[in-house]
A and B are shown apart, each in its own frame.
Chain A
Amino acid sequence: MIARQLLAAEGGNEFQAPGTEIFDWGPLWDGAPSWLTKPTLIVALSVIIVCGFFWAAFSKPKLVPRGVQNIGEVGYLFVRDQVARPMIGKDGDKWMPFLLSTFFFILVMNLMGVIPVLQLPAPSHIAFAIVPAAVVYVLMVFLSIKHQGLGGWFKNMMFPPGLPAWLYIILAPIELLSTVILRPFTHAVRLFANMFAGHLLIAFFASVGYWFLIEKLTPLGSGLGVLGFVMSVVMTGFEIFVQALQAFIFTLLAASYIGGALHPDH
């Protein structure tokens, strides 16, 4: 990818930092359907990996877990005890199928950013962050109306008890905008921006290393090239951490929105 990018810029003798074009992927091969691109392939692959993993882990469960089942159970317990129960409460277990699949789907999509050859976190295309966030948003609206009623939902959202009446007129628009409009937006953008920036950073350091050590090796530039290679390894490690963290935060917020819809009084 980076090599191709640099070849494209070969005309010039100056180093060119990778830009947003590293996210543009056309159809996989000439004549392929226009939707069949690298990002969609990565999403499809993530679905298969997540389904396959849980099939392997839980299709024939044993009382004493071994191998894949062990990893699956650790993952399940993590999501249940760190996300579902603290955020939703006693009825959190009911939401485990949704939260567990959300967490692992996003985690695998993110980790695709550090898998050699694939090397593209799918949510670095904002569409793949918008769709899960939209699913959570629709679910939140549906549950809020179901459990609080349409009027009750807006009342709980816009009129927190204990304020003088004239303040409500001033504060209610802020509440409305932040909950109904900004919430799905920040939910999606947080995931997208982290993946986008991380991918760009790794690509930048890797191309610095490639350019100054391989493409245009000079005594002066070699130090910079070594720094670029070292930093791309460091950033890859850091990205693995960010990718896991963002999958966790996305799921945590989804659970928090569901919990808020079910128990508005908290």
Chain B
Amino acid sequence: MVRAAMSKEGRRPDPESDSDHRAFTNAAWSIPGYLLSGMAVYGGLGWLLDRWLGTSALLPIGVLVGLALALYLVYHRYGR
């Protein structure tokens, strides 16, 4: 990220690019939270549906879907 900012503007990073550094650190530390959260929300939903419908496949499906959604969210927030 810092390198991209440097090549774009052709100069060394100044205090302004601190926000790049911050974005990077924030991303690095919020990814586990997002992944956990995605698995918990949609895994939990799958678990509830499993109990309601008497099935057993929706919990693992929900966990995977939640994981995928969380990865997408991380990509959208920090990846571009």
> What residues of chain A lie closer than 8 Å to B34, measured between beta carbons?
174-175, 178
The binding surface of chain A is classed by DSSP as helix
Given contacts A89-B18, A160-B76, contact A174 B37 (CB under 8 A): yes
> What residues of chain A lie closer than 8 Å to B7, measured between beta carbons?
none
* Interface residues on chain A, number (Cβ under 8 Å): 26
Binary flags per residue of A176-188, CB closer than 8 Å to B gives 1, else 0: 0111011100100
> What residues of chain A lie closer than 8 Å to B29, measured between beta carbons?
252-253, 256
- A178 contacts B69, CB within 8 Å? no
Contact residues, B17-60 vs A (CB, 8 A)? 18-19, 21-23, 25-26, 29-30, 32-34, 36-38, 40-41
> What residues of chain A lie closer than 8 Å to B33, measured between beta carbons?
178-179, 182-183, 186
Binary flags per residue of B65-80, CB closer than 8 Å to A gives 1, else 0: 0100110110011000
Could you tell me the distance between the alpha carbons of A256 and B78 in the complex, rounded to whole angstroms? 15
Does A152 touch B at the CB level, under 8 Å?
no
Binary flags per residue of A225-266, CB closer than 8 Å to B gives 1, else 0: 000000000000000000000000000110010011000001
Does A75 touch B at the CB level, under 8 Å?
no
Given contacts A86-B18, A171-B69, A173-B41, contact A266 B36 (CB under 8 A): no
- A182 contacts B36, CB within 8 Å? yes
> What residues of chain B lie closer than 8 Å to A174, measured between beta carbons?
34, 37-38, 41, 66, 69-70, 73
> What residues of chain A lie closer than 8 Å to B19, measured between beta carbons?
89, 266
**A contacts, CB < 8 Å to B:** 85-87, 89-90, 160, 162-163, 170-171, 173-175, 177-179, 181-183, 186, 252-253, 256, 259-260, 266
**B contacts, CB < 8 Å to A:** 15, 18-19, 21-23, 25-26, 29-30, 32-34, 36-38, 40-41, 66, 69-70, 72-73, 76-77
Q: Can you list 23 A-B pairs, Cβ within 8 angstroms, ordered by A? A: A85-B15, A86-B18, A86-B21, A86-B22, A87-B22, A160-B76, A170-B69, A171-B72, A174-B37, A174-B41, A174-B70, A177-B41, A178-B33, A178-B37, A178-B38, A182-B36, A186-B32, A252-B29, A256-B25, A256-B26, A256-B29, A259-B22, A266-B23
